[in-house]
A and B are shown apart, each in its own frame.
Chain A
Amino acid sequence: MSLREGSLEDPQADSSVSFLPHLEAKIRQTHSLARLLTKYAEQLLQEYVQHQGAPFGSPGFSPPRLPVAGLSAPAPGHAGLPLAERLRLDAEALAELPPLLDAVRHRQAELSPRALRLLRRLEDATRQTRALGAALEAVLAALGAAAPGPRREPPAAPGPAGVFPAKLLGLRVCGLYREWTRRTEGDLGQLLPGGPA
């Protein structure tokens, strides 16, 4: 299902909307942003593990995959969902990520105050994820897809008390950030002309 085939909801409808070139441009732009953030998310993860020390980042390191309040990884069946549903889930996840990334940044500022590049990357990630989320919501709105429901405010938890659990949680958040930006890039790619039907 691609943009050329019509709206996300009715793939058989004619593309009669005159603003399609603008919409296509917007989709391309959002897809490019998602691709860029996927790359940045990978860099952030590498920078993060560097500052936590071994075994973080070591080959074979298999930390517990801590569930994060308010956000989970893309489900195994995500790829099989309708495109509209996938994009809605992407938008929801992107809306949940900024406060989590910000919380990680605050904790890292206490643990590694001299890790300026890491802190800057976390700050950039917070801001850029908001931008990508807003862009994706605009695309969904233009396509007539239902907007995501009212955002659940994440619980105002103080975070893990111990340093090691906090390091693990930060790793998990950075990992989720990478997974969701990658997923968003893939899903938006299917909207582009020439994308898989």
Chain B
Amino acid sequence: MLAGRPRPSAQSARRTPPLPLLLLCVLGAPRAESGAHTAVISPQDPTLLIGSSLQATCSVHGDPPGATAEGLYWTLNGRRLPSEHSRMLNASTLALVLANLNGSRQQSGDNLVCHARDGSILAGSCLYVGLPPEKPFNISCWSKNMKDLTCRWTPGAHGETFLHTNYSLKYKLRWYGQDNTCEEYHTVGPHSCHIPKDLALFTPYEIWVEATNRLGSARSDVLTLDILDVVTTDPPPDVHVSRVGGLEDQLSVRWVSPPALKDFLFQAKYQIRYRVEDSVDWKVVDDVSNQTSCRLAGLKPGTVYFVQVRCNPFGIYGSKKAGIWSEWSHPTAASTPRSERPGPGGGACEPRGGEPSSGPVRRELKQFLGWLKKHAYCSNLSFRLYDQWRAWMQKSHKTRNQHRTRGSCPRADGVRREVLPDKL
């Protein structure tokens, strides 16, 4: 009830509201610009399926009695509805029929308003037009250091529901216990939830998502998991990158096991990635198993490199699952020593990429290296490395076995070994 001066007699004869509401109605009844009419729209705040129809009425009453519905009209979201959608049911009631409704324009509901002839608002009702939720899916969860659990999911529905849909993540221990509801939402995106504590290990959980809106509800499939199978951890701290003596194509990377799990990381895997300062392309060294140092080789001399490390707490407490990689550590930078070898023409810079400048021997070697790159695993072989190898050969035999190609690091047993320049 909206229009009309605030008079107790303006209250509808339909029923007497409770006292506090009556007080508010008496105080809150609006003032119309034309007369003391009030009106009521029925239904109030209906919820409807997209494509369905609405039949509504606007009934006027006020002072003087016998207020007429003549001249009343409807608007929906501020737009006047064509008169063919309305008809007078009786002297004081204007009816409306809307077919094939579209989804609501805003979460707070579409504004259906009944206006007096002069445009003043007599009454309003909010329509909620949408779809029931579809089943959420694609639930994935991870635990940080076995202390908590974060899950995210994809909402169902190929499009919008047009209605506010509430998502609730539920979980319970598989074989006993009651249903619990996650409380910290939107932690890693709009469809996510974080369970901060009181989680059991060595026993599976069942996890699912319930979606509810005004038109219905839907439930996802149940995901069963053990916390230990979805553990991730912090990035390795204290990553240091330093030169390896005067070797111009190598950098040494050292880090520390993530402290939260350092007593459990017996089989942890690490990955290193590095890139040249002004490049966006990372190179990944993904065969660094359970070590906290690695030497990158085959790098360009006199070049700044950014390096990051991450950890996968694989096999924690005997878990057989793959584990979840941590975030990358903060980038650490270091530069390789500048090359001291004179270039062609006596002191000029090294040709870009170490490409050969002349000679049939070098041309043949270039072809061979090209073939090797295609058919072997040493993608970083280059003339620079070949020259380096020659320098090593000249310096000392004992340094030959310390280095590997392709920026790789000493590996665990059973892993394929790299092809070495000195084995060509």
- Residues of chain B at interface, number, CB under 8 A: 37
Chain A residue contacts of B31, Cβ below 8 A: 64-65
Chain A residue contacts of B45, Cβ below 8 A: 162-164
- 1/0 per residue, CB under 8 A from B, across A161-175: the answer is 111110111000000
Given contacts A65-B30, A157-B21, A169-B28, are A52 and B6 in contact (CB under 8 A)?
no
Interface residues of A in 39-57 (CB under 8 A from B): 51-56
In angstroms, Cα B44 to Cα A156, docked, is: 23
Chain A residue contacts of B236, Cβ below 8 A: none
- 1/0 per residue, CB under 8 A from A, across B173-209: the answer is 0000000000000000000000000000000000000
In angstroms, Cα B113 to Cα A57, docked, is: 15
B79 touches A53 (CB 8 A): no
Closest B-chain residue to A107, C-beta based? B108
Closest A-chain residue to B24, C-beta based? A157
Given contacts A54-B78, A62-B119, A64-B30, are A162 and B3 in contact (CB under 8 A)?
no
Given contacts A53-B77, A162-B44, are A168 and B30 in contact (CB under 8 A)?
yes
Kindly state whether residue A197 has any CB partner on chain B within 8 Å. no
B78 touches A55 (CB 8 A): yes
Chain A binding site: helix, strand, loop or mixed by DSSP? loop
In angstroms, Cα B111 to Cα A63, docked, is: 13
B108 touches A52 (CB 8 A): yes
Given contacts A64-B32, A65-B31, A160-B24, are A113 and B107 in contact (CB under 8 A)?
yes
In angstroms, Cα B276 to Cα A54, docked, is: 54
In angstroms, Cα B78 to Cα A113, docked, is: 23
Name the one of B20, B111, B112 contacting A167, with C-beta atoms under 8 angstroms.
B111
A63 touches B107 (CB 8 A): no
Kindly state whether residue B257 has any CB partner on chain A within 8 Å. no
Chain A residue contacts of B2, Cβ below 8 A: 64, 164-165, 168
Chain B residue contacts of A69, Cβ below 8 A: 23-24, 27-28
In angstroms, Cα B124 to Cα A167, docked, is: 10
A67 touches B27 (CB 8 A): yes
Kindly state whether residue B125 has any CB partner on chain A within 8 Å. yes
Closest B-chain residue to A170, C-beta based? B108
**Distance (whole angstroms) from the CB of A174 to the closest CB of chain B:** 14
B28 touches A58 (CB 8 A): no
In angstroms, Cα B75 to Cα A55, docked, is: 9
Chain A residue contacts of B112, Cβ below 8 A: 164
B111 touches A54 (CB 8 A): yes
A157 touches B23 (CB 8 A): yes
Interface residues of B in 109-148 (CB under 8 A from A): 109-113, 119-121, 123-126
Interface residues of B in 353-410 (CB under 8 A from A): none
Chain B residues within CB distance 8 Å of chain A: 1-3, 6, 20-21, 23-24, 27-32, 44-45, 75, 77-79, 105-113, 119-121, 123-126, 164
Chain A residues within CB distance 8 Å of chain B: 51-56, 58, 61-69, 108, 111-115, 155-165, 167-169
- 11 more A-B contacts (CB under 8 A) besides A55-B78, A157-B24? A53-B110, A55-B77, A64-B2, A64-B30, A111-B108, A112-B106, A113-B107, A113-B164, A114-B164, A157-B21, A163-B45
